[in-house]
Structures are given as structure tokens and as C-alpha cells.
Amino acid sequence: MLILLLNSIFENNCLLENILYNPKSNFTLRIFFMFLFSPQRSASHLLILLCIIVAGIGFMFPQFIRLYGLNNWFLTIGDYPSFLVQVVLFQFLHGNILHLLMNSYFLYTAWVELEARMTQNRYWYFFITTTIFVAAALLVFASGSNTIGISGFCMALLSYLWIDLYSTRHPMASQILIMLVINIWIGLVPGISLVGHLFGAIWGIVWWAIFRNWRK
């Protein structure tokens, strides 16, 4: 709900429109807001902005990462409201600047392909369901770890793109598959969540299958 509300504000705010389209407004400010909130990419831009804000808090206050990275601590002690906050925040937290930049760059570039394949509303539902699916998998298979980062959703986007291209025998499908396999394999590196990468990829294929059947 928070994401949808912010998205609506960014798309309909008169002040924002004045900055974007008024030639007398500051040029640098206009370019900055065009990058962040152009309607064609407002979905990915909003996720990137949330990653920057929440990750920035984590960089300044490392205890924030320990508290709100996804783990089973709050579930164990029965603090369910704090656990729900974990589920909301863990994907936006990142371990370092490189981690944040890599995931942000992927979100930014992937939306170019995905906007031709799903509406923004479907994109948000995809994000929310991926969050729930990956969080559940982490609690079952990696409950002792403290997982952060939006890589699981990035993997879901990548696998969705692969299966959609493969279904039409697109020549790019094999290249996307190689990227997908490499990114799952990267999950074997210590400090990177194999469960998050793998189950994110699984959900992308499941999500594609769900909407293929609905279209039929």
C-alpha cells in the first residue's frame, strides 16, 4: 500500500510536474527528477529510491541491518509486528555501496524490457508476491542467516524475462538463461544468499505461468 501511495503521489503531484515541464526550473533539478520519476519507469525508480533511503539508514546505523535483515529472531520471541517490518524492509537493505549499485542498475535496466510485458500494477503485485515467497523460503531453508538485498526480486525479473522470451523462441532467450544460471551459481559464494537467488528465480517462472493461464 505504501508503494502504491507513493507512486500515485509522484505521478500526480503538481509541484513535480512544474519541475519537470517548466523550462524556467533548475536544469539539474529537472534532469534529476526526470531520471527518478519519469512515468515510463516510475515503478523501478521508486524501488531504487526506497533502496537508497533504507540502505542509507543501514549504512549509518549497522544495528538497523542486524534488526531488520530477514531472520527468525522476532518470530522466535513472538514479536510479530517487528517481523512484518523485517519482511517489508529486508529487500531494501544492502551490505555496501557496490551491492546497492548492482541491484539498482539491474532494476533500472530490466524495466525497459518488462514494461512491454506487464502493467505497472502487475509489476507491483509481482514484487509483493516475490517478497512473500522469498521471505517464506528464507525462513524455511536459511532461518539462521540474516538476509538483506533485493537480489531475490532481481532474479524473479530475470527468470520471468527468460521464460517469456523462451515461449516465443526469441534468440535472446539463451543469453538470458546463461545470465540466470550464473546469478544462481553466484549464490554459492559465501555471504550471498543462494536461497534468495534460487527461490526468486523460481517465483519468476511461477508468476509467468500464472498469468499465461489467466490470459487463456
Query: According to the model, what pLDDT value does residue 56 have?
Result: 96
Q: What is the CATH number of the domain that holds 170?
A: 1.20.1540.10
Are residues 102 and 112 both part of a single domain? Answer: yes
Concatenated DSSP letters for the chain?
-HHHHHHHHHHH-HHHHHHHH-TTS-HHHHHHHHHHH-GGGHHHHHHHHHHHHHHHHHHH-HHHHHHHSB-SHHHHHT-HHHHHHHHHHTTT--SSHHHHHHHHHHHHHHHHHHTTTS-HHHHHHHHHHHHHHHHHHHHHH-TTS-B-SSHHHHHHHHHHHHHHHHHTT-TTHHHHHHHHHHHHHHTTSTTS-HHHHHHHHHHHHHHHHHHHHHH-
What is the pTM assigned to this prediction?
0.79
Are residues 97 and 197 both part of a single domain? Answer: yes
70 sits in the region (left: phi over 0; alpha: psi -120 to 50; else beta) called beta
Are residues 83 and 105 both part of a single domain? Answer: yes
Are residues 135 and 196 both part of a single domain? Answer: yes
Q: List the pLDDT tens digit at each of the 216 positions of the chain.
A: 434 434 444 444 444 445 444 544 444 544 455 455 455 557 888 899 999 999 999 999 999 999 999 999 999 999 999 999 999 999 999 999 999 999 998 998 887 778 778 888 888 999 999 999 999 999 999 888 999 999 999 999 999 999 999 998 989 999 999 999 999 999 898 889 999 999 999 999 999 998 876 655
Query: According to the model, what pLDDT value does residue 144 have?
Result: 84
Are residues 43 and 66 both part of a single domain? Answer: yes
Are residues 55 and 6 both part of a single domain? Answer: no
- At 32, list the grid cell: 534529476
Are residues 66 and 5 both part of a single domain? Answer: no
Residue type, 193: S
Residue 127 sits at the vertex; the CA angle it makes with 126 and 131, to the nearest 5 degrees, is: 115
Are residues 109 and 21 both part of a single domain? Answer: no
Counting the structural domains of the chain, the total is: 2
Tell me how far apart the alpha carbons of residues 159 and 82 are, in angstroms, rounded to a whole number: 31
Full residue range of the structural domain in which residue 165 is found: 39-215
Are residues 69 and 29 both part of a single domain? Answer: no
Are residues 74 and 164 both part of a single domain? Answer: yes
Residue 38 sits at the vertex; the CA angle it makes with 32 and 44, to the nearest 5 degrees, is: 95
Query: According to the model, what pLDDT value does residue 110 have?
Result: 83
Residue type, 103: N
Tell me how far apart the alpha carbons of residues 119 and 103 are, in angstroms, rounded to a whole number: 21
Are residues 99 and 31 both part of a single domain? Answer: no
Are residues 30 and 53 both part of a single domain? Answer: no
